[in-house]
Amino acid sequence: MRKAIVFLLLIAITSILPTFALAQAKIDVLVKNGTPNTWFKDSVANNDVLIKNATVMTAVKGTLENTDILIQNGKIAKIGKGLTAPAGVRTIDATGKYVTPGIIDCHSHSMLDAINEGAFSVTSMTRTRDMLNPTDITIYRALAGGVTSANLLHGSANSIGGQNTTVKFKWGHPVEDYPIPDAPPGIKFAMGENVRQTTQSPQPGRALRYPRTRQGTIETDRDAFLRARDYKQAWDDFKAGKTKVQPRKDLELEPIVEILEGKRLVHAHSYRSDEMLNLLLLADEFGFRVATLQHGLEAYKIAPEIAKHGTGVSIFTDSWGYKLEAYDAIPWNAYILWKNGVVVSINSDSDERMRRLNLDAAKVEKYGGVPEQDALQMITLNPAKQLGIDKRTGSIEVGKDGDIVIWTAHPFSVYSRVETTMIEGEVFFDRAMDSQMRLDTANERETLEKLDVNRAPGTGGGPPRIPAEKRRGERDEAEYGDGGNR
C-alpha cells in the first residue's frame, strides 16, 4: 500500500512541476504602471532597492514630494531627488504613489499558538517566544495592510502575565528571523474584568482563582514585587560573599527582578483610570516605569498624571461598549493624551483590525484635529518608541531599517491600498505578485483535483484507504521494532 501511495505522489508531483515553474517565472515579474517589470534576483540577496518619485511621508520631517529612497543592505542609505541606482539594484517607479514607514502594532496576539496561561495569577515565567507560529496566515494579511512589526503579548488573564516578543513579520523566513534582536524584553500586566474572571462561570469542582476583586489584583502585583525584591537581595548578598549558599533560581521572579532593574518593559492591559493610576503609584513605590498602558480607554481622565510618569498609552481609536469597563471611552482619547504630551500609539489587538490601522490613525485627525504627521506617528514612530526599537525603525530616515510601505493613494484615504510592503528592503507583500499567485494556486488546485487519487469513488476514483489497525499514539513508532512499517 505504501509503495502505491508513493507512486501516486510521484505522478502528482510530476504533473504539477510545470505549474510551479510557471508560477516562479511569473513571480519574478511585477507590474509597474501596467508594464511588466523584471526584478533582478542578484539584488535581492543584499536587499538593495531604489524607490523613485514618491510622495514620502517620513513621520519626522514632513512630507517630501517627488522624492527617491535608496535602500542598501537593508538600510535606508539616501533620501532625495534624482537619485541613481548602482548597477544591479532594482528600481520601483512610485510616481503618483505614497510611501510611509512600516506600520507597527503595539498590541497583537497574531502568530501565537497559545495566548493565556490562566492557571495562576502570576505567570511571568511563560514566554510568547516559545509559541511563535511562522505559518499563521495572519502575518501575510497584516503585511497586505502595511504592518511590518508587532508587539506579541501574552493574554490578559493574569495580574502579571507572560513575556512578550517584538517581531518583524518576515513571512516565509525561519521563525528565528522574526524576533528583533535588540528589542528590549517586555512583559504583560493586566487589570480589570479579565484578571478577576468575573464574566466566567467556574467548572463544577474547580476552585475560584485569586484575585476576584480590583483590590486583590493590585495586592497580587505588590506581593510579587516584594518577593522579587527579597529574591534580588538574596542574590546580591550571595554575589557579594555575604552568604555561602547560592539561592535557588526562580523562573517566576527573574523577569520581575528585571523590571526592578529597568531591563524589562511593562505593558499593562487597562481600561479604568483608577486602575491605571494605582499601577503608576505601585511603580513609584518600587522604582520602575510602566512602558505602556494598553487599551487605556479612560486614560484621558488622568492624562497629566500619565505624562508625568513618562508612560505611553496604546489605544483603540473608537472601539468601546463591548463590556462594562469600556463604557466611558471617547474618540477624543488620543487627542487629549497627545495634547498633554503623552506618547500615544494605536493598536489592533485583532487579526482583522490590524489590517486597517492606517484608517484608525486617520480618525484622530477628525476627533480633535491631531496634525497629519502626529497621526501617522501613532502607528509608526510612537509604537517604535514604546517598544524601544525607534533607533532602527518607525520613520523614514537615513540609517534606519528599510521598513517601507508603498500605497496607491494617501494612506489615510479609504480608497488607498497597499501596493508593496518591504522589511529591510526585502519585499514581503506585493499586490501584483499576490494576484498572480492566486491564479497559480487556482490552477494548481484544478490540476490536483483531476488526479485519480483525489477523485471521489463515484467519479472514477479508487476507494479510500482503510487503516489496518489502531495506532498506539502514546508510543513512538520505533518502540514497535519495525520503524512504523506495520
Whether 9 shows a pLDDT value over 70: the answer reads: no
300-354 pLDDT, tens per residue? 999 999 999 999 999 999 988 888 899 999 999 999 999 999 999 999 999 999 9
Q: Using an 8 Å Cβ cutoff, are 83 and 398 in contact? A: no
- Non-local (6+) Cβ contacts of 105 within 8 A are 142, 147, 149, 150, 151, 347, 348, 354, 357, 379, 383
pTM score, two decimals?
A: 0.86
Partnered with residue 267 across adjacent β-strands are 188, 292
pLDDT at 10 (0 to 100): 47
Tell me which H or E stretch contains 34.
none
Q: Note the CATH architecture for domain 1-101+396-462.
A: Roll (2.30)
The DSSP result for 328-350, as a single string, is T--TTHHHHHHHTT--EEE--SS
Tell the residue number behind the cell numbers 513575556, with chain if given: 163
The pLDDT mean for the chain works out to 88
Q: How far is it, in rounded angstroms, from Cα 98 to Cα 342? A: 28
The CATH code for residues 103-393 is 3.20.20.140
Sign for the CA dihedral angle at 27, 30, 36, 37 comes to negative
- Non-local (6+) Cβ contacts of 148 within 8 A are 102, 103, 104, 168, 169, 393, 403, 405, 421, 423, 428
pLDDT at 208 (0 to 100): 84
Partnered with residue 70 across adjacent β-strands are 50, 78
pLDDT at 463 (0 to 100): 67
34-68 pLDDT, tens per residue? 333 333 333 344 689 999 999 999 999 999 999 99
Domain ranges in the chain are 1-101+396-462, 103-393
